[in-house]
Structure 1
Amino acid sequence: LAIMADFKLDIDYPYEIVKKEDLYSRPPRIPYNNSRIRYRHYGKTLEKMIQKATEFEPGVEKDQLIKLLATQMKKSFLTWNKESVDDRKIFKDLDELSEGQIILDEEVHKLAESRDILARNNTNNKKNYSRKGR
């Protein structure tokens, strides 16, 4: 009401009104974390998860976590780059992001094929279009 009346009304409002000078002023700048992300296609969250994985005690749980992280890295890579990616590239990046603490051998560790991941993504997207006539 105060804005519509150009702040010329002299009445008691049930709550604090916005002052005219505050209405058009710029809000304060939001401080952002300017930390550098080494691989943007993996993201900061995945980098943090890899660092946490290095802190785990060796065992089955750590091995499963590392396999899940490598699979997620491959999915993230394929999101940015639709061409196929070699597992060696993922393992090399994982080694680099973990500062040499996680080393996977491509002979022992196998990830899902790129075409399977891309095909799975395409079928999930097509399900959204199947309900057009409703």
Structure 2
Amino acid sequence: MEYNTDRTQLHMPEYGRIIQQLVERCKELPTKEERNEMCHAIVDFMGQRNPQLRDEENYKHKLWDHLFILADYDLDVDSPYPFPTKEELAEKPKRMEYPKLQGDFKFYGKSILQLIELAIQQEDGEEKGALIEVIANNMKKSYNIYNKEHVTDDVIFRHLKELSEDRLDLTGIDSLEKSKIYHSGNNRNKNQKNQNQNTKNRQRNHQNKNRRK
């Protein structure tokens, strides 16, 4: 009986023992023409065994890379793509730089910073004032969600001044409570709550009628 421990190590277990054996057989073929022909057949077979790879970009290139890995980086064939090296595959990806918010304002999110920069670049006028009001309202909502407490407009205005490095004029906003945007958002929430309550009341009345019957 042959045990897996006595066989050649699987370099990519997801492809299974059969494809590993085909690759090993290909390496033993005497001529390069025969190896080339068999390699193309193996790559097609690998694609059939893993159809999900076809949804990925450059999936053919990826299959040829996998073929070379299965051959333990030792395969003398004419590949349509340059084969990777062990060093390239062993190299760790570069660490991603995450956006950082100033001070303790991370709960506002990156989109707020982008909106602030957009507002700074706009010329003074109604459109810029409306955008500043939208930013302030969204900051207030984010603050209330993150901190689980009510925040005054003065705090939001102070944070907005700090995040914009005092480059935005907030004198045009008297109070967020009086703004159309703030009230339209609240009205939508109230209407949704009323609709949900009405639905529950109708269901309760219907259940009571059924019990009486």
The TM-score normalised by the length of structure 1 is 0.62
1:83 corresponds in structure 2 to 149
Matched residues, number: 119
1:102 corresponds in structure 2 to 169
Higher normalized helix content (fraction of residues): 2
Q: Specify which of 174, 179, 182 is matched with residue 112 of structure 1.
A: 182
Alignment of 1:29-108 (within 5 A): 29-30=94-95, 32=97, 37-38=102-103, 39-98=105-164, 99=166, 101-103=168-170, 104-106=173-175
Shift in CA distance, 57/15, structure 1 to aligned 2, threshold 3 Å: closer
Q: Which runs of 5+ in 1 are unaligned?
A: 124-134
Once the 2 structures are TM-superposed, how far is the Cα of residue 16 of structure 1 from its aligned partner?
Answer: 0.8
Shift in CA distance, 10/72, structure 1 to aligned 2, threshold 3 Å: same
Once the 2 structures are TM-superposed, how far is the Cα of residue 79 of structure 1 from its aligned partner?
Answer: 3.8
How well do the aligned residues superpose, as a CA RMSD in angstroms? 3.5
- Higher mean displacement: 5-14 or 95-104: 95-104
Q: 2:169 is matched by which residue type in structure 1?
A: I
2:136 touches 2:160 (CA, 8 Å); kept in 1? yes
Q: Which runs of 5+ in 2 are unaligned?
A: 1-66, 194-213
The TM-score normalised by the length of structure 2 is 0.43
Moved >6 Å (runs of 4+): none
Larger relative contact order (CA 8 Å, sep ≥ 6): 1
